Amino acid sequence: MSRFFRAADSDTESEESEEEELLSEEEEEQKPKPTAPVPAGGKVPMSRFLRTAGEDSDEESSEEEEELEDDDDEEEEEAPAEQKKTPGSRFLKGADSESESEEEEKKIVKSAKDKRVEEIEACAKSMDNALKINDWVKIQDDFDKLTRLVQRQALVNEATPPLYIKTLVDLESSLNAALAKEKTASKKMQANNARALNAMRSKLRKTLKENEDQVKLYTEDPEAFERAYAAQQAPPEPATAPASKTKKVRIELDDEEEGAEGDEFTTVGKGGKALSFTADQVLKTLAAVAEARGKKNTDRAEQSRILEKLAEAAGTTYQEIRVLLALISSRFDYNPMATFMPLDAWASARSELDRLVNILTADAQYAVVEDITLEYSDLDERSPQKEGGLVRVRGSVISFVDRLDDEFTRSLQNIDPHGQEYVARLKDERGLYETICRAQMYFEQKDEGESAARVAYRRLDHIYSKPDILIQALEQGVVTAMPEFSQSSSSLSVAGTSAALIDALCKQLYKSGQPFLRTRAMLSHIYHHALANNFETARDMMLMSHLQDSIHAADAGTQILYNRAVVQLGLAGFRQGLVREAHSILQEIFSTQRVKELLAQGLHQQRYGVILTPEQEKSDRARQMPFHMHINLELLEAAFLVSCMLVEVPTLASLDTEEQRRKAASKPFRRLLDYAERQVFMGPPEHTRDHIMQASRALQDGEWEKCRDLIEGMKVWSLMGNEKQVKEMLAQRIQEEGVRTYLFTFAPYYTTVSLELLSKTFSLSVRSVTSIVSKMIWNEELAASLDQETGVVVFTRTELSRVQQLAQALADRVSNLVESNEKALDAKLGGGPEARAPGEGGKGGERKEGGAPGAGGERRFDRTRTQRTGAARTGTGFRGERFSQGLGNNRVGGAQNAGARTRVAA
């Protein structure tokens, strides 16, 4: 009886006894109905709905049902005999009627084992019918179904039926006959039938290889093979003592048992399938593991442990390479819900990749190639003698290197950067760098250009943003781990300096056929030059590469690298004292008000009703830079605002009207300055912006010493390596711009100003003051003359009449109208000023080429570029032009002026 009904009978035994007492009196009065004889066991026959609990078919049920009833059988043997006798209930008295007995005679109960055998027979018969009409599409479907049925039998520890082996043998002969007939036939079979025939050839070859031993035994003596199968399926003789049923036990891989048994041991995999770890069975076990990969309920950790044992049991180089390729791939099959790869699995994958590369480097007769058309049997042992000197294995070493590096970056993105775990994880970069260098040396030895270029970029990506001392530490670790690497052409010992090493890697990437690698190599090269304060070299490389014109079409990662290179270039100019260049470079980044997002150092703030989808937010998070590669935003903002102060405060003082001042100043600086001027009370500065705004107001009032003290009092300058030189440079520039601001502000109120007075007021030499005033007069910024005999500056006052003022206002409006027309024309043509005809666009063409190179024209052109900020941000052609002109206008004898002079002379 099933355990579900036995429990109910035992719990209600007392209730049934009471019911029997009540019914006994009625049974005495009425004539008892004929009932079926009670069996010897004392059990009352049950209804057909409950008959499965007590029928003899339990002996023929499947093993799965027997396992479920193991515990109940044991309890039933221990229970006393009185509890086994269940009194008949009134609900079961009429359960054995004649109609029900007739239905029971018609009903045939089959075990799961018999059903599986019948399914196999039906499938084999269907294949025989399809063979008669040469329908290979139907044969292929039935063969796949038959294979699944046999695999299901193997999962329950049942032997392979002879009918399956017979079907394989017959199918092989029919397949060979069909192929021979197809070659000689004048009319070819249909395309889908031919494809199914070819597919069956490969499937059948693989299946015969797996069942090679059984096929051999069957072909030698089919009758003996069937007798052996029948003897194996015969039920065992009953034992005198009831033996407990054996349960399935999964054997765990124990290190102690492994050491005791050595290489000759066997474990049980999923479904009770035996896995052999001997050297001659490595490939077969590997194929079984590969077949289970990706399926439902597959234990990834257990698969990795099995592959580890296979790697230890591998007897040949070919087996070891095959197992390592599968093992490294299984390491990356971690839980998809996890944000990054487990650290222990990552470390194991890195060590196994090093082992694989060492094997391939030591034995040149084996090669791992990315060739999907390469065909060979996974169960055959291959050697250089059989393959003609070189064994080619399907796989990709460079893909493993890329994935290992990507997983390292992903872990740094998701670990808290302010904890010790991030620091500990960052220490693994040294081992990863050694793996990358080992792979680069292997690809250079194999002369695989594209793979060598990809791994060279991975190496460059780890060192382009680091200072020299860290690069030297990484290279020293590589030489310690691999002494032979010191002889490589791409090592630091051969290059000499870190700059020469990066230059060698970038030149290698410049020769690559992939534009993606060339672009990123150029940007990394520019970044490193800017980091080393080589501003002129980095600027020239940026201008000559013309990346400004095409960067808007690049991928997001390349655009982030471009923004980082531009920002680092601006910082390099600021450290060198080139304040105007730094201002023009950084203004484009800060005008967007999305500095964090452009540098991939933070997510975009959702405002104005813009909501990112989960996919967009996930992709944005995946593009974030690791914390140790961030550019300090506070330092960057300080450099930009100080540059704005030194450039725009004198410019604001030189303009007369408020409208001109509003157009001249950049929006971020102007907004902060207006906010500071609206404050009734200004307290002590608390952060960087407060320092710079108070310093700007002091500079406007002529208090250059207060301005200098506020700027030098900022703690953010300690983040720069040359803090002392930067402070000295800023103090000198504040003095010079203080002179300019003073002259612009108070020129209308003076007739003459003594040079010696200016020298004492701003603590500058007379020679420096004379140079500043002369430059202002030459650039027509100051309406004055210099009297060197008396040492004074004589101001020239020019009173404009009403007509002149109106004419000047009209000229400004016409200039704005022409500029708006040029913008509309550029948008229509889809390009910058170079897209227009030579006679169109006065400012971009005729005025620049035929006009005199006066200061007024240059200022007007600069203002035009400043007002085109919106078009520059959209990347429609003005971005690169504005960047190159912003740098080139400040160069003495620059490329643009030289080109203009050449055209005028012609």
Q: What is the pLDDT of residues 715-761, one digit of tens each?
A: 889 888 788 899 999 999 999 999 988 888 888 888 888 888 888 88
**Cβ–Cβ under 8 Å, residues 860 and 815:** yes
**Cβ–Cβ under 8 Å, residues 172 and 178:** no
* Predicted confidence (pLDDT) per residue in 785-843, tens digit: 888 888 888 888 777 788 988 898 899 899 989 988 988 888 888 655 545 544 444 44
Instruction: Give 609's pLDDT tier (boundaries 50, 70, 90).
Output: low
Instruction: Give 424's pLDDT tier (boundaries 50, 70, 90).
Output: very high
**Cβ–Cβ under 8 Å, residues 345 and 303:** no
pTM score, two decimals?
0.64
Tell me the two tokens of residue 419: 């904890």
Instruction: Give 15's pLDDT tier (boundaries 50, 70, 90).
Output: very low
- Higher pLDDT: 382 or 12? It is 382
The residue-averaged pLDDT of 627-633 equals 92
pLDDT of residue 702: 84
Alpha carbons 166 and 125: distance in angstroms, whole number: 12
Q: How many residues does the chain have?
A: 906
The angle, 0 to 180 degrees and rounded to 10, between the axes of the packed helices 13-29 and 3-11 is 70
Lowest mean pLDDT among 10-19, 267-276, 321-330: 10-19
The residue-averaged pLDDT of 463-488 equals 90
The residue-averaged pLDDT of 539-546 equals 92
Instruction: Give 93's pLDDT tier (boundaries 50, 70, 90).
Output: very low
Alpha carbons 624 and 600: distance in angstroms, whole number: 5
Instruction: Give 254's pLDDT tier (boundaries 50, 70, 90).
Output: very low
pLDDT of residue 657: 60
E strand intervals along 339-418: 366-369, 391-394
Q: What is the secondary structure of 233-268 as a DSSP string?
A: HSPPPPPSS-PPPPPP-PPP--HHHHHHHTT--EEE
Res. 190: pLDDT tops 70: yes
**DSSP secondary structure letter of residue 842:** I
Domain range annotation of the chain: 112-227, 279-514, 750-818
Query: What is the Cα 152 distance to its own chain's centre?
Result: 38
* Predicted confidence (pLDDT) per residue in 491-513, tens digit: 888 888 899 999 999 999 999 88
Average pLDDT in the chain: 75
Res. 846: pLDDT tops 90: no
Which of these, 294, 298, 292, 307, lies nearest to 345 by C-alpha position?
307
CA distances from 655 to 214, 466, 659 (A): 99, 44, 9
Res. 261: pLDDT tops 60: no
- Give the torsion through C-alpha atoms of 200, 205, 211, 217, to 10 deg: 110
Helices (H), 211-342: 212-220, 222-233, 255-261, 282-292, 300-313, 317-331
Alpha carbons 732 and 478: distance in angstroms, whole number: 45
pLDDT of residue 435: 94
Alpha carbons 411 and 341: distance in angstroms, whole number: 7
> Percentage of residues in the chain with pLDDT exceeding 90?
22
The amino acid at residue 736 is E
Res. 77: pLDDT tops 50: no
Instruction: Give 113's pLDDT tier (boundaries 50, 70, 90).
Output: confident
Instruction: Give 211's pLDDT tier (boundaries 50, 70, 90).
Output: confident
Per CATH, the architecture of 750-818 is what? Orthogonal Bundle (1.10)
Alpha carbons 891 and 567: distance in angstroms, whole number: 20
**Cβ–Cβ under 8 Å, residues 428 and 408:** yes
